[in-house]
A = this chain, B = another copy of it.
Amino acid sequence: MNSVKAFAPATVANVACGFDIFGFAIKEPGDVVELRRCDEPGIVIADIIGDEGRLPRSAEKNSVTGVMLHMLKHLGIKDFGCEVVLHKNMPLGSGMGSSAASAVAGVMAINEMLGQPFTRQELLPFAMEGERIASGSAHADNVGPSLLGGFVVIRSYNPLDIFTIPVPDDLYCTLVHPDIEINTKDARFILKNEVSLKNTIAQMGNVAGLVAGLMKSDYDLISRSMVDVIIEPVRSILIPDFKEVKQAALSNGALGCSISGSGPSMFALSRGLENANNAATAMRARFAQAGIESAIHVSAINQGGAMILTD
């Protein structure tokens, strides 16, 4: 195989109550990694399109090529050479799982080019390594759903225990990216290391409610369970007019609304495409009122995850 293109979708991590344990993929946007075989061994970044020159161009430091080198080393392959073109189709530091999408597209592409030495599930630890290179910690709540698709639960990190749960057919996501930037490391730094037992119990109740609501297609239960008493109250202060934008979503048909990943993107879940579109319009309008431009994406839950693109 002389060339491969892989697509990996944007993702919403945390999903209100599920800090570090829940994530789901959306259909668009997604990053694309293009590989072209070379005779010369080694991995070279030929181009990165759409990052405004911000990502590292050195193969070791860039998370996409970093995981590829990691995988080649793991397989003991020394004579492989390729050129990489990364198409960044979402902003960096947006809370849309940007670094995860790139890493996942990277591992999917090289795995395909190498003749699929790994199953999709086996690619997960490699993609997580990309998260470590990009942000310092190997989280799975973006790479998991970007790779596997669907609504993903990470029961445990050590050992890694990850599974998907079914979601109702008529569930739609609204993702709104305001034109401001939050550093993932900062967003993690402001969190408190201790949680009251009372809030832990409340959050556990909502986690149980959201899983059961999704699996039962009980939209009311989903709505009542999309409550985050631990993370949202702290991180939302980094997003201008967060409460008002959230209220705009809820007043316009959304079941629930919270921060996507570590922000500043916000997401809402709605029953039906019309509600999801109405929430999008209302959220964008409310950000505009605060003088902030925003990009909106409305889609069903992406059940397939990353994929190889054929020309």
Contact = CB atoms under 8 A, between A and B. Distances in A.
A181 interface: no
A79 to B, nearest CB: 41
Please classify how large the interface on chain A is, using the bins under 10, 10 to 19, 20 to 34, 35 or more: 35 or more
Contact of A203 (B153, B200, B211): B200
Interface stretch (A16-24, A121-129, A235-243): A16-24
Contacts of A205: 21, 153-156, 161
Interface in A187-215: 191-197, 200-209, 211-212, 215
Interface centre among A18, A19, A20, A197 (most CB of B within 10 A): A197
Interface of A: 17-22, 153-156, 161, 163, 165, 191-197, 200-209, 211-212, 215-216, 221, 224-225, 230
B193 A155 contact: no
A194 B17 CA distance: 18
A221 B20 contact: no
B196 A195 contact: yes
B161 A212 contact: no
Contacts of A20: 201
Given A155-B205, A204-B207, A212-B211, A224 B192 contact: no
Given A155-B224, A212-B165, A212-B211, A197 B192 contact: yes
